[in-house]
Structure 1
Amino acid sequence: MIREDLKKRKKHLPALSNELTLSEEKLLNKIRWITREYNLNNVTRTKAYLEFYLRHPEIQWAFLGHMVSRNGGWNMTDLKGELLTKLLSKKEQESFFHFLERGNWLIFQDVYPQFLLYEESLKQNRPLFYLLPQLNVSIFMETIWNYFWRVRDRYILCIALVINEQSYLEQRVIQNPHYQKEVFTKIEFYFQDWLSFNQILFPSEGENLKGQTLHQFQSLHERILLGKRLYAVLFKNKDFNKQVLDWAKRQPHTGSRKDYWPHFFNYVNEGTPGITYPLRIKSCRLRKGARRIYSPILEHAWKNVSQPDAEPGDWFQDISMVNYLEDDIEMMDGEIQSEYCKTLERLEVAALAKKAINFLE
């Protein structure tokens, strides 16, 4: 049904109508205004996703997006944290931040208007998704939202949003010549990949971590499959889902990794400037008497950034993208904690080695 609807929609693309009613114009302006208000930084976006999910738990992507956006914030503050500041120059830190921030901003300004239009559709008890093109949303999602309105298939909607957001980023960020030059060609990007520092973590009560790792960030196919695996970890085990949601409601997102491991990280730097400390991390624990790793909160690490408008254009060209909607991944354990701890150990060794090399030079 979705495939046929998309084929029809693609064949008969109507021109954007300028003949909107006054109430439609007001609604669209309100949606744009609310989206801009929440799209200030990673913390405001992440909070908005969770608040929406708590109002509308049938929109599972809002919770998945909330948890992935938390990881985006942790990656942003890592750039100003204790370990990566020893590995990356200030220019490289800035380049990585702007890359992460642009992606985070673009996804929010694309997906949040969809959520608000859905919310208004519920209020009016009629689908308003014909207005999505006015918000520069892909015809792929207009078709999916209309399908969801009829069928209420939560999985299809969530995975469709994964496909949409990753495809939306592909030309605007991943294939963008600026980021290709400033981020992807830098050896540090591959260095991070070697360190498995592309882990998406889902903390839960009891300071447990589950999640998944992505190694080929530049592959759209791999990013979509990652989204499907993350869905399986987060939603297919109801007990774990409840634990993560309870944790998310209890722990506001600050951007600091102290949010999930306060025994390991602190947003206050406990070190003394100029003093090099021995290795502190071993087997998921800090060595006896070792100080915690510095992980700042986002508002102390980075200022808000004013973003240029999103590049125009609809990513949807290939009908075979529909194949990703198949529910073909079983419930996954998502065990990642020991791998993540090894990542931290390797990162600390690399940071200490870099500092020693700089000292010798």
Structure 2
Amino acid sequence: MRNREKPPVERIRDELKKKSKKAPPLGTPLIPIEKNLLEKVQKETIIHNVNNVTRTKAYLDFYMRHPEIHWAFLGHMVSRNGGYNMTDLKGEFLTKLLNRKDRNAFFAFLERGNWLIFQDVYPQFLLYEESVKQNQPLFYLLPRLNVSTFMETVWNQLWRGEDSYTLCMALIVNEQSYLEKRVVQNPFYQKEVLNKFEFIIQDLLSFNHILFPHGTGKLRGLTLHQFKSLHERILLGKRLYSVLFHDKDLLDETVNWAINHPHTGSRKDYWPHMFNNVNEGVPGLTFPLRLKNCKLRKGARKVYSPNLEYAWKNISQPEAESGDWFEDSNVVNYLVNDNALFNGEIKNEYCKTIERLEITALAKKTINFFE
């Protein structure tokens, strides 16, 4: 079988087997038009990479222009959850459970990952967009943007939009692999976040829930139980894709919800019946349990969940660490469609998490009161 007749995954595998583990030379010097394009891509990326809200909006805007790039919408929805996790650190419960230093370390961890993914993937999107306009692939420029040779190979094989699924799987693999050494295995984050709060992250907080609001008050999503495992994060990405894209009606509902509910970082975006971006509480007073089955008890005030812009200041990030994660062509196995379906039922599990969080926060506040 000639190469062009092979399935996309096999073509990608063949090309990657030819790649050296060492970074390829950048080739001939750039001509002015190429330099100008790269400068434009870099500037536009910087403009949108200010904070979680600007990144999340940029993903959705791109998806609306290019719905064939499924990762853009998946990335938008996952990035929304990153914003919720950030504002939780300044919300009602975690301010009672974690001290300021620990909350700052947690935010730095979340923000760094969110920033890194955007500065890696968004330039790829912009080069794709320009390739479509010019009707010729421009992905030979990706190494100039420090994008992995893995993605250069994938884009060259799939840039005509022939296989949205495989491209999305490749982007999931790329972004999680890109984060692995830069964030997950980073000694600072290992010490100050992942090892220090492993129990809290896995068993108590809502950091491991990825929620996809759709319709009025409805949720779909999945839970990650082993954040430190690259393999599990990639598999979660594949499962989240299934939740979002296997049912067109559900996808349309979710897209419409996202369009009509601009991301603020507050959980009020999807459950205004339970969360408020204004703190209704009185400082210093203990509070009775207010939540039961994801509803407020009669007369109870709403849970405080601030907007991102009021919770955290913008941070100037240091330059991304250099290096290409790609080493082994067997990673292509993740691109194969296993046809697994997940309905994403998560509401009951999420409700229990919030209730546990409230009980724990109340217990700690009560103990502190009597000390």
| Match of residue 190 from structure 1 | 199
1:38 aligns to 2:48 (yes or no): yes
Give the match's secondary structure for 1:306: coil
| Match of residue 248 from structure 1 | 258
Aligned pair partner of 1:69 in 69, 79, 88: 79
| Match of residue 105 from structure 2 | 95
Aligned pair partner of 1:257 in 267, 276, 299: 267
1:318 aligns to 2:328 (yes or no): yes
Aligned pair partner of 2:232 in 222, 233, 250: 222
State whether residues 229 and 329 of structure 1, in contact with CA within 8 Å, keep that contact through their aligned partners in structure 2.
no
Give the match's secondary structure for 2:221: strand
Cα–Cα, structure 1 residues 11 and 79, in superposed 2: closer, same or farther, change >3 Å? closer
Deviation of residue 149 (structure 1)?
2.2
State whether residues 219 and 346 of structure 2, in contact with CA within 8 Å, keep that contact through their aligned partners in structure 1.
yes
Give the match's secondary structure for 1:9: coil
| Match of residue 134 from structure 2 | 124
Deviation of residue 27 (structure 1)?
0.2
For 1:272, give the aligned amino acid: V
For 1:214, give the aligned amino acid: L
For 1:300, give the aligned amino acid: Y
Deviation of residue 103 (structure 1)?
0.1
Aligned residues: CA RMSD = 1.2
Deviation of residue 101 (structure 1)?
0.1
* Distance in 2, Cα, partners of 1:199 & 1:14: 39
State whether residues 56 and 80 of structure 2, in contact with CA within 8 Å, keep that contact through their aligned partners in structure 1.
yes
| Match of residue 174 from structure 2 | 164
| Match of residue 137 from structure 1 | 147
For 1:338, give the aligned amino acid: N
* Distance in 2, Cα, partners of 1:196 & 1:204: 22
Deviation of residue 11 (structure 1)?
7.0
| Match of residue 358 from structure 1 | 368
For 2:202, give the aligned amino acid: D
State whether residues 237 and 331 of structure 1, in contact with CA within 8 Å, keep that contact through their aligned partners in structure 2.
no
* Distance in 2, Cα, partners of 1:199 & 1:88: 19
TM-score, normalised to structure 1's length?
A: 0.98
For 1:189, give the aligned amino acid: E
State whether residues 82 and 110 of structure 2, in contact with CA within 8 Å, keep that contact through their aligned partners in structure 1.
yes
Give the match's secondary structure for 1:201: strand
Give the match's secondary structure for 1:247: helix
1:85 aligns to 2:59 (yes or no): no
Give the match's secondary structure for 1:272: coil
TM superposition outliers: structure 1 runs of 4+ over 6 Å: none
Cα–Cα, structure 1 residues 225 and 249, in superposed 2: closer, same or farther, change >3 Å? same
Deviation of residue 331 (structure 1)?
2.6
Between the two proteins, what is the percent identity of the paired residues? Answer: 67
* Distance in 1, Cα, partners of 2:18 & 2:160: 18
State whether residues 289 and 358 of structure 2, in contact with CA within 8 Å, keep that contact through their aligned partners in structure 1.
yes
* Distance in 1, Cα, partners of 2:161 & 2:132: 15
| Match of residue 359 from structure 2 | 349
For 1:45, give the aligned amino acid: R
Deviation of residue 14 (structure 1)?
3.4
Give the match's secondary structure for 1:210: strand
* Distance in 1, Cα, partners of 2:366 & 2:92: 15
* Distance in 2, Cα, partners of 1:12 & 1:99: 29
* Distance in 2, Cα, partners of 1:87 & 1:160: 38
Deviation of residue 152 (structure 1)?
1.4
State whether residues 70 and 164 of structure 2, in contact with CA within 8 Å, keep that contact through their aligned partners in structure 1.
yes
What is the total number of aligned residue pairs between the two structures? 360
For 1:355, give the aligned amino acid: K
| Match of residue 6 from structure 2 | none
State whether residues 217 and 223 of structure 1, in contact with CA within 8 Å, keep that contact through their aligned partners in structure 2.
yes
| Match of residue 343 from structure 2 | 333
Cα–Cα, structure 1 residues 309 and 18, in superposed 2: closer, same or farther, change >3 Å? farther
State whether residues 196 and 215 of structure 1, in contact with CA within 8 Å, keep that contact through their aligned partners in structure 2.
no
State whether residues 228 and 329 of structure 1, in contact with CA within 8 Å, keep that contact through their aligned partners in structure 2.
no
Cα–Cα, structure 1 residues 269 and 13, in superposed 2: closer, same or farther, change >3 Å? closer
* Distance in 1, Cα, partners of 2:246 & 2:309: 34
Deviation of residue 13 (structure 1)?
5.5
Deviations 1:22-73 (A, max 9, x none): 0000000110000000000000000000000000000000000000000000
Instruction: Give structure 2 stretches of 5+ with no counterpart.
Output: 1-10
